[in-house]
A and B are shown apart, each in its own frame.
Chain A
């Protein structure tokens, strides 16, 4: 009698069926191991503090309210809003990753690639960007502004709770 429904002209007996299953199983296992090991080998290593860890931006009083200061190495803009709150905005456009420059004349961020525009707090003014600019966590200690570039905050809507006050 046929085991399984393999072929019509050659009936398969139990021995050859078990042999096939055994070898196929071992082969799949070996291929799986090689694939897993290779993928783990080339997987990106996660580094704490990606763009340079915690960056000391400067003294609180160095940044007048209503100012936007670029930090090239840290890849962020430190914005001090009119109400003296701080936000560190990651410069990468949330649409397709272009570097978004601050346009001081227009008072907004304007992406050169596909024309997205963001307000000073990162909120989307003009599509195609799907969400506000990402944030880095800001801490104030001893009158100094510290920005943790290893801690990127992705947000769907801007809210007052994200703003840090001295």
Chain B
């Protein structure tokens, strides 16, 4: 047992790296959730048949007549959703403490690959209960691929195994969900953890504190291990309590001839869905997400103009500017959504242009221009470094995306019209 631990961790660690409020145990928590998902997932394999005529009934039987069936399904469902949130929080922690720079640029890329695999695990798992939610979320989600130029239609056909979501799709998603994606996750996660050990832990620092040459090393067992163990126990308790209290959703059996109104994507795609309501699909589904991912991958190579590793939000100025960014994103995003929904009709204003231009390139160029002005603006006002200004822009985009997700989940009703969540 000790041997295994010492494969994952170095034998001794810097005592300061153990500070819980620095890492919040998020990487370890992701690993814990992954283990819970494997155990509950393997159990679910025993009672589930991946065919359209059996899948939904198997889930019903699982919930009503299999001992602990509902609990195991709930644990699997909530752990999968939690893993996505925890992975994003882990990414944010690493970004905001500047812990992704040299020598950890490569491990940052591995982390992004893991995030994509986690999204894919969630998306493929979404189809398996074969209820209305599953069927239409996957129909809409895969249709997005059809907007990729040249190969889009073939790609959708390949993903679905036919012209529509059907038995072939279920088999495919099942194979991806139980074999391909988990193998990828475990392979890359092992690599990721080994790189953490090899690159060295980043050490928390207070504002204006210089990196100290003095190192107080303590043994991993028990100093680090005891923290991890207690944290894992607490989180398992929370997960169990949550899964006892809240059931995983299950709607009516899939009906290919009737889309529910409104037909929404899975919650983690609501931000993208909201973009789709405002942009031409090529932009909402492909260009903007790829731009976002590409920028994330580039971040560790850009942030080289100040040394802020270990300090939350870079510096005192960085903190103020992050708050400014959050407020800006919080105000600007709903305003833009309302503007586009009720006042601005770009394709109508430019009827001679194809919508790819009028509802794609033009609004995107406008947004990027706005972000650039914001970047130059805060940089000048606060006389900050590029690194601090970049972080502020990142916060604007992050808060913007969260706001879009919230709008998609709670403020979109029948026919995707804007509504109040309390129905007034």
Residues of A within 8 A of B (CB): 42-44, 47, 50-51, 70, 72, 75, 91-92, 95-101, 110-115, 127-128, 130, 152
Given A95-B281, A96-B139, check contact A50 B162 (CB 8 Å). yes
Does B212 sit at the interface, judged by CB under 8 A? no
Interface string of B337-362 (1 = CB under 8 A from A): 00000000001000000010000000
Q: Which of A43, A47, A92, A115 contacts B415 (CB 8 A)?
A: A115
Contacts of B378 in A (CB 8 A): none
Asked if A75 contacts B257 (CB within 8 A), the reply is yes
Query: From B348, which residue of chain A is reached at the shortest CB distance?
Result: A127
Contacts of A111 in B (CB 8 A): 259
Contacts of A92 in B (CB 8 A): 164
Q: What would 15 A/B residue contacts be, using CB atoms closer than 8 Å?
A: A44-B157, A75-B257, A95-B143, A96-B143, A97-B146, A98-B139, A98-B263, A99-B257, A101-B258, A111-B259, A112-B414, A112-B415, A113-B140, A130-B281, A130-B355
Does B276 sit at the interface, judged by CB under 8 A? yes
For chain B, the count of residues having a C-beta within 8 Å of the partner chain is 34
Q: How many angstroms between the C-alpha atoms of A99 and B263 in the bound complex?
A: 10
Residues of B within 8 A of A (CB): 136, 139-140, 142-144, 146, 157-158, 160-164, 168, 172, 256-263, 276-277, 280-281, 347, 355, 414-417
Contacts of B144 in A (CB 8 A): 96
Q: Which of A43, A97, A99, A127 contacts B355 (CB 8 A)?
A: A127
Query: From A90, which residue of chain B is reached at the shortest CB distance?
Result: B163
Query: From A115, which residue of chain B is reached at the shortest CB distance?
Result: B415
Question: Nearest-CB distance from B80 to chain A (Å)?
Answer: 24
Q: How many angstroms between the C-alpha atoms of A111 and B139 in the bound complex?
A: 14
Asked if A128 contacts B281 (CB within 8 A), the reply is yes
Question: Nearest-CB distance from A25 to chain B (Å)?
Answer: 26
Given A96-B139, A96-B144, A98-B140, check contact A113 B257 (CB 8 Å). no
Contacts of B261 in A (CB 8 A): 112-113
Contacts of A152 in B (CB 8 A): 163
Contacts of B276 in A (CB 8 A): 96, 114, 128
Q: How many angstroms between the C-alpha atoms of A166 and B260 in the bound complex?
A: 36
Question: Nearest-CB distance from A84 to chain B (Å)?
Answer: 27
Asked if A97 contacts B416 (CB within 8 A), the reply is no
Question: Nearest-CB distance from A40 to chain B (Å)?
Answer: 11
Q: Which of A96, A110, A112, A114 contacts B260 (CB 8 A)?
A: A112
Question: Nearest-CB distance from B255 to chain A (Å)?
Answer: 9
Asked if A50 contacts B355 (CB within 8 A), the reply is no
Question: Nearest-CB distance from A98 to chain B (Å)?
Answer: 4
